[in-house]
């Protein structure tokens, strides 16, 4: 198949045979741009899709009522002691891994999961600009399948 130019990055790529009209390469940044363009177009042209997106956003806001409070708490201005930093870090990690563990443990794919938390803190210093501290924490979790046997019903 002939090479094409990616609509996002401008690099040449070979389109997949299954997608003859492919205009974006497989680069993740280009795929994000493609998806964003699709979503924007869909919101403008389909009022049902737009209403569903608004409803989903409202549901997220209802599930996370103190999001902005936590967001601002992580960006504290003034003196920050090590105990305050430890509390912020523990709270952020607890929230992150609690959210990660609540999603779909029952499927076979999720028996082994790698979860990553990236946390950023701005640490103010006297007489200078603040230092941004970024922590990347990975947790590798393995769950065992239940040994309970499920009885299969037969129709005969």
Report yes or no: 96 and 116 within 8 Å, Cβ to Cβ. no
* C-alpha–C-alpha distance, residues 119 and 91, integer Å: 11
Q: What is the pLDDT of residues 85-143, one digit of tens each?
A: 677 777 777 776 666 555 554 444 445 566 676 767 677 666 777 777 777 777 666 55
What are the extents of the domains in the chain? 1-63, 75-102+109-143
Closest by alpha carbon to 122, among 156, 90, 88? 88
Q: Which residues contact 24 (CB under 8 A, 6 or more apart)?
A: 6, 7, 8, 30, 31, 33, 34
Which residue did the predictor score with more confidence, 30 or 155? 30
**Segment 20-45 mean pLDDT:** 94
Higher pLDDT: 152 or 49? It is 49
Half-sphere exposure of 9 (CA within 13 A, CB side): 12
What's the rounded Cα separation, in Å, for the pair 48 and 55?
10
């Amino acid at each position: 198949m002939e090479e094409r130019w990616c609509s996002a990055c401008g690099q040449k790529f070979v389109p997949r045979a299954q997608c003859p009209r492919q205009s974006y390469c497989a680069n993740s940044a280009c795929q994000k741009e493609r998806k964003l363009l699709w979503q924007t177009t869909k919101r403008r042209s389909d009022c049902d899709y737009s209403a569903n997106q608004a409803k989903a956003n409202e549901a997220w806001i209802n599930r996370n009522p103190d999001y902005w409070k936590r967001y601002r708490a992580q960006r504290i201005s003034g003196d920050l002691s090590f105990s305050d930093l430890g509390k912020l870090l523990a709270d952020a990690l607890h929230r992150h891994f609690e959210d990660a563990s609540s999603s779909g443990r029952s499927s076979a794919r999720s028996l082994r999961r790698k979860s990553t938390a990236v946390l950023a803190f701005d640490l103010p210093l006297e007489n200078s600009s603040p230092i941004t501290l970024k922590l990347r924490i990975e947790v590798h979790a393995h769950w065992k399948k239940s040994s309970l046997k499920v009885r299969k019903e037969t129709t005969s």
